[in-house]
């Protein structure tokens, strides 16, 4: 089941909310939420529930074992984490290593995300940041809460721990969650799915401008798709009383690559920082080891997305820019006018996305060369002009909504127009919610891009 489906919005979600709020006490609410989450997870493929349950049990037991001081603690730590990593690698990368054909088309939904949640829990128990959770209901809820299991955000156990036992549920939070959910739905249906059409329409366009718009439309599709999903996930979680950190903070406003990845998929970046980068020594090592640490993190970030060389090259390409900014470009970027740094960042990120969406390295280089005129049939053609003019409004508004202008306008209207501002904003959200629903009814199914990871 996905958040942008009619069955979720008009049946599963409202029924879940009603059952949850009718249930007395946080303890029973958690049980109800756990049952709902397990039902959500198994909706399309009940068999994968077995994997989820085994993962929960393994990590629950491992947490208790690690906390106890025994002489085999190191072995327990290694095997506990290795189990999680192995399951992930088997599903995602097995066809890279076995010499025979194997059916890998059914990677369980959310595997990368709940596995990373589990590893972060074990990491926090190992470093004694948290005590192991002995209540199996609370631990299971942490792993499989339906608000975040499918495509994140990757919430660490320490962030969620106190909220599992008690959380604030009030009207303001519920409303804020609802607004965030609608915002995410708008991003997904109105922007991401439409940019997907632009991307598809230009897939065969071999002109310079056509290729640029092809890449830009993917960059915007990916942003709205994933940040839209994240908004929906965080909004849903709020409505059940959970507060999670934002996962996207207007990344296309960044002026350096380092800044970009502090704003893009923040939970994944933090995970790699806390559980790979810092244990390796972070930046508190000599330059050689620092370079090694950065390349390891970015190699893993790339391969996390999939078993394709293009993802690895994407990761290492960005890792190299992180290193270049640290060692060579730092002073220059500080001196440059902000808009130049902004353009530099957008260009580097866009080139990276070309590797990200290309099925092969050859295809990626083909696309990149065409962007700069090599191998292009012409500068532009009638197909490009048709697509560009047809989607001009979408492109303009899409770029607009990647900036912070809308958020500032919303805050301005609340602060200066007071109640009027709230009413106007509410009406706008309701209207666009209805537009989204009508587009969902009339349109074909579009899965979330990041659910593939």
Q: Does 447 bind another protein (CB under 8 A)?
A: yes
Q: Does 66 bind another protein (CB under 8 A)?
A: no
Q: Does 87 bind another protein (CB under 8 A)?
A: yes
Among 18, 78, 85, 94, binds another protein (CB under 8 A): 94
User: How many angstroms separate the Cα of 289 from the Cα of each of 294, 295, 296, 301, 321?
Assistant: 9, 10, 10, 18, 17
Q: Binding segment for another protein among 21-29, 83-91, 112-120, 291-299 (CB under 8 A)?
A: 83-91
DSSP 148: T
> Shortest approach of another protein to residue 58 CB, angstroms?
5
Q: Find the radius of gyration of the CA atoms of the chain.
A: 23
184, containing H or E segment: helix 171-186
The closest alpha carbon to 176, from 187, 168, 165, 166, belongs to 168
Q: Which of 72, 305, 342, 416 is catalytic?
A: 305
> Shortest approach of another protein to residue 56 CB, angstroms?
10
Q: Does 75 bind another protein (CB under 8 A)?
A: no
For residues 187 and 267, what is the distance between their CA atoms, to the nearest angstrom? 19
The closest alpha carbon to 111, from 57, 41, 167, 181, belongs to 41
Binding track over 173-212 against another protein, x by CB under 8 A:
-----------------------xx--xx-xx--------
Binding track over 103-122 against another protein, x by CB under 8 A:
xxxx----------------
For residues 26 and 104, which CB has a smaller minimum distance to another protein in the complex? 104
Tell how far CA 121 is from the center of its chain.
19
CB 151 within 8 A of CB 448: yes
User: How many angstroms separate the Cα of 401 from the Cα of each of 3, 251, 405?
Assistant: 21, 11, 7
> Shortest approach of another protein to residue 160 CB, angstroms?
23
Q: Does 70 bind another protein (CB under 8 A)?
A: yes
Among 22, 25, 68, 382, binds another protein (CB under 8 A): 68
For residues 203 and 415, which CB has a smaller minimum distance to another protein in the complex? 203
Among 11, 35, 45, 372, binds another protein (CB under 8 A): 45
Count how many residues are written for the chain.
Answer: 453
Rounded to the nearest 10 degrees, how much is the dihedral formed by the CA atoms of 203, 209, 212, 214?
-20
CB 345 within 8 A of CB 260: yes
User: How many angstroms separate the Cα of 418 from the Cα of each of 335, 410, 425, 426?
Assistant: 41, 11, 11, 12
Q: Does 322 bind another protein (CB under 8 A)?
A: no
Size of the site for another protein (CB under 8 A): 35
Q: Binding segment for another protein among 29-37, 96-104, 335-343, 431-439 (CB under 8 A)?
A: 96-104
270, containing H or E segment: helix 266-272
Among residue numbers 340 through 379, which ones bind another protein (CB under 8 A)?
359
Q: Does 446 bind another protein (CB under 8 A)?
A: yes
Q: Does 170 bind another protein (CB under 8 A)?
A: no
For residues 70 and 378, which CB has a smaller minimum distance to another protein in the complex? 70
First to last CA, the chain: 16
For residues 114 and 91, what is the distance between their CA atoms, to the nearest angstrom? 14
For residues 277 and 289, what is the distance between their CA atoms, to the nearest angstrom? 11
> Shortest approach of another protein to residue 302 CB, angstroms?
21
For residues 430 and 378, what is the distance between their CA atoms, to the nearest angstrom? 44
- Listing DSSP states for 11-36 in one string gives IIHHHHHHHHHHS-SHHHHHHHHHHH
305 an active-site residue?
yes
For residues 201 and 216, which CB has a smaller minimum distance to another protein in the complex? 201
Q: Binding segment for another protein among 6-14, 177-185, 382-390, 444-452 (CB under 8 A)?
A: 444-452
Q: Does 93 bind another protein (CB under 8 A)?
A: no
Q: Does 77 bind another protein (CB under 8 A)?
A: no
- Interface contacts to another protein, rule CB under 8 A: 44-45, 47, 50-51, 54, 57-58, 61-62, 64-65, 68, 70, 83, 87, 90, 94, 102-106, 196-197, 200-201, 203-204, 359, 444-447, 452
Residues designated as active site: 305
């Amino acid at each position: 089941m996905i958040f942008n489906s009619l069955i979720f919005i008009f049946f599963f979600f409202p029924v879940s909310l009603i059952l949850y709020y009718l249930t007395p006490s946080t303890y029973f609410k958690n049980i109800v939420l756990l049952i709902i989450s397990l039902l959500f997870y198994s909706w399309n493929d009940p068999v994968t529930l077995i994997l989820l349950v085994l993962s929960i049990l393994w990590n629950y037991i491992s947490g208790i074992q690690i906390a106890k001081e025994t002489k085999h603690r190191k072995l327990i730590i290694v095997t506990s984490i290795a189990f999680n990593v192995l399951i992930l690698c088997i599903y995602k990368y097995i066809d890279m290593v076995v010499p025979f054909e194997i059916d890998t088309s059914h990677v369980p939904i959310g595997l990368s995300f709940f596995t990373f949640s589990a590893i972060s829990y074990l990491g926090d128990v190992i470093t004694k940041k948290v005590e192991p959770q002995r209540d199996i209901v609370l631990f299971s809820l942490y792993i499989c809460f339906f608000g975040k299991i499918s495509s994140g955000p990757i919430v660490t156990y320490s962030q969620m721990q106190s909220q599992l036992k008690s959380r604030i549920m009030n009207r303001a939070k519920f409303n804020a969650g609802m607004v965030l959910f609608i915002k995410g739905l708008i991003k997904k249906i109105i922007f991401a799915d439409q940019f997907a059409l632009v991307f598809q329409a230009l897939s065969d366009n071999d002109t310079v401008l056509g290729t640029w718009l092809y890449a830009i439309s993917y960059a915007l599709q990916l942003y709205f798709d994933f940040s839209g999903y994240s908004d929906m996930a965080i909004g849903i979680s709020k409505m059940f009383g959970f507060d999670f950190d934002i996962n996207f903070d207007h990344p296309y406003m960044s002026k350096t690559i380092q800044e970009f990845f502090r704003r893009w998929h923040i939970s994944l970046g933090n995970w790699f920082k806390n559980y790979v980068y810092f244990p390796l020594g972070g930046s508190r090592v000599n330059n050689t080891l620092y370079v090694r640490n950065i390349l390891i993190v970015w190699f893993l970030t790339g391969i996390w997305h999939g078993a394709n060389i293009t993802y690895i090259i994407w990761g290492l390409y960005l890792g190299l820019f992180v290193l270049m900014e640290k060692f060579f470009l730092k002073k220059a970027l500080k001196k440059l006018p902000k808009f130049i740094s902004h353009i530099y960042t957008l260009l580097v990120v866009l080139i990276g996305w070309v590797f990200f969406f290309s099925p092969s390295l050859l295809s990626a280089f083909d696309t990149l060369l065409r962007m700069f005129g090599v191998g292009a049939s012409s500068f532009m053609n009638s197909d490009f002009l048709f697509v560009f003019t047809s989607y001009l409004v979408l492109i303009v508004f899409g770029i607009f909504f990647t900036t912070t202008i809308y958020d500032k306008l919303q805050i301005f209207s609340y602060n200066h127009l007071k109640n009027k501002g709230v009413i106007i904003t509410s009406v706008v959200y309701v209207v666009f919610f209805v537009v989204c629903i009508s587009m969902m009814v009339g349109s074909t199914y579009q899965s979330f891009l990041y659910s593939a990871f």
